[in-house]
Amino acid sequence: MEFEAASKKRNKMVHMNQKLRRKITALVVDDDTTNRTIHSRLLQNLGIENQEVRNGKEAIDLHSSGRIFDLILMDMDMPIMNGIEATKQLRAMGIRSTIAGVSTRSVKEQVQEFMEAGLDDYQEKPLTSAKLISILHKISHNGSVVS
């Protein structure tokens, strides 16, 4: 039942994405190659163009070079710069992208600290199509929310 509902929502999101003037873009920020691959494929399955980086500093550098994304999937625990610090810096830079924390952390205080850094959403790993679709509902285009 959950699979059917997720499949219907996925089809609706793909259709909505095709109707938009420009495609939704996403940045996957995770130090784990397997997680980056899974998240990238989930996004691709929904017709979302995406790029991958290995840590928060690479995400900051990419935005500093002028790249902007509709969605950022941000891991919490990464070397060089973690997701909390990267999220704070992106918000300080004026980045208005939807930032969703995606982590294995489930301790309330740790999740709260991540949310307070400037997240729009938090999902516990593993990321699934249903969780991703829930995140995508928060992205707005041209003044209207994708739903």
CATH of the domain at 38: 3.40.50.2300
Q: How confident is the model at residue 145 (pLDDT cuts 50, 70, 90)?
A: very low
pLDDT for 19: 46
Residue 147 has pLDDT above 50, yes or no: no
Determine the structural domain holding residue 105 and report its residue range: 23-140
pTM (2 decimals)? 0.82
Whole-number Å distance between alpha carbons of 57 and 86? 7
**Is 145 inside a domain boundary?**
no
How many percent of the chain have pLDDT more than 70? 80
C-alpha of 119 from chain center:
10
Buried b (16+ CB within 10 A) or exposed e, 58-96: bbbebbeeeeebbbbbbbbebeebbbbebbebbeeeebe
10 residue type, one letter: R
pLDDT for 13: 53
Section 95-113 average pLDDT: 93
pLDDT for 4: 59
pLDDT for 121: 95
**Among 10-24, 60-74, 106-120, 121-135, which is the least confidently predicted range?**
10-24
**Is 112 inside a domain boundary?**
yes
pLDDT for 23: 84
**Is 98 inside a domain boundary?**
yes
**Is 147 inside a domain boundary?**
no
Q: For the chain, how many structural domains are there in total?
A: 1
pLDDT for 12: 54
Q: How confident is the model at residue 20 (pLDDT cuts 50, 70, 90)?
A: very low
**Is 47 inside a domain boundary?**
yes
